[in-house]
Copies of this chain bind each other. A is one copy, B any other.
């Protein structure tokens, strides 16, 4: 039931890019900067950001002063979308996928026990990720980062 590195890096990078957008609206951030800050191999990250761009989540500009930015406001980007873009369907098995259904090899899909259970798992995963908007995630992150720095700031 693992998320791939691509899916993992995509979310981590997106949080960083969204964070930057929050600090400096209308700015662009470079692949190399994102790679540094997130600890993601730069060349690999390149592929991932490109996929996010082609999927309409990011926009980019080439050349000097170029870089990436969110293609839409963070409240319109949800994690389900992002993970699907890089990892494919969220469903644990294809016969319970709403977005990429494929039949199973079991004798009868209607009464298949595995399917009954995995349908519930799929629904639970989708309920979380399809409703997790980037703005909410970023504010969660911000809250935690803030409580780290202020911890010693007030401790004079």
Contacts and interface: CB of A to CB of B under 8 A. Distances in A.
**Chain A's interface: helix, strand, loop or mixed, by majority?**
helix
A120 B131 CA distance: 12
Contacts of A127: 124
A7 to B, nearest CB: 8
A91 B38 contact: no
Interface stretch (A8-16, A20-28, A60-68): A8-16
Interface size class of A (residues with CB under 8 A): 35 or more
A50 interface: no
Contacts of A113: 11-12, 15, 137-138, 140-141
Given A116-B137, A121-B128, 18 more contacts: A1-B2, A1-B83, A1-B90, A2-B93, A37-B107, A39-B106, A39-B107, A108-B145, A108-B148, A110-B148, A111-B144, A111-B148, A113-B140, A117-B128, A117-B129, A117-B137, A124-B127, A125-B125
